[in-house]
Amino acid sequence: MNQDDWRTDEQKEVDLGLENQGLEADLGLQAGVTYKNGDVDPKLHNAFLKNVMAFEEADKEPHVPVRTLFPEDFKFPPASSMSRKQLSDKIKEIVRVLTMHDIQFGFANKLPDKVLYKYLVEDFIPNESVGTYGNAGFTFVIDGCDGACEDCFQKNYCSTAKEILE
């Protein structure tokens, strides 16, 4: 037994169970969600609950419009005014800026650059906001999916939409 920890293994187990119950109660109050752990190892369940709690706490941080993440002079020219290479390069610039702010892409693999650019420039960048999580280790993933496959801009390139719509 560690000399700094006077608790018995049985007491540690009880303490962990109480901590898990407290975390579950806090999350229930904050998020309105209950967590049933079934036969999950209490230590694993504890780590899961702590991660969920960290996410819930981080989401309380201020949100900023995505447009403000870009330099003031950053241009978004119409896709029709750019060559394929220019369009590809412009998307890479956008990705670079968003990645610096812990925003990653999760779009359909074969989504054409024109379709992606249109979504980013007309929908995502001017209309969305993201949390300012600092260095909390969180990544915001954009995939353009809102669950409405029928009306989705990338349904022709998405395997999930194809399965649902067939």
- Residue 166: its pLDDT value, please? 65
* Mean pLDDT for the stretch of residues 29-53: 75
| Amino acid identity at 76 | F
CB atoms within 10 A of CB 99: 12
CA distance 154 to 151: 9
CB-CB neighbours of 37 under 10 Å:
14
Give all strands (DSSP E) within the chain, no chain letters: 63-65, 103-105, 129-131, 140-142
At which residue do the structure tokens 């989705």 appear?
152
Choice among 37-41, 43-47, 71-75 with the minimum mean pLDDT: 37-41
Instruction: Bin 64: left if φ > 0, else alpha if -120 < ψ < 50, else beta.
Output: beta
pLDDT at 12: 83
- Each residue's pLDDT tens digit, 57-115: 766 777 889 999 999 999 999 999 999 999 999 999 999 999 998 889 989 888 999 99
What the block records as the tokens of 30 is 């904050």
- Quote the mean pLDDT of the chain: 83
Give the chain's length: 166
Q: Which of 6-10, 41-45, 54-58 bottoms out in mean pLDDT, i.e. has the lowest?
A: 54-58
pTM as predicted: 0.67
Residue 94: per-residue pLDDT? 97
Looking at residue 163, its pLDDT comes to 65
φ/ψ of residue 26, rounded to 5: -60, -45
Q: Residue 42: how many CB atoms within 10 A of its CB? A: 13
- Count of CB atoms situated within 10 Å of the CB of 108: 22
Split at pLDDT 50, 70, 90, the class of 146 is confident
Helix (H, G, I), strand (E, B) or coil at 129: strand
pLDDT of residue 116: 96
Of 41-45, 100-104, 135-139, the range with the lowest mean pLDDT is 135-139
Percent share of the chain, pLDDT over 70: 84
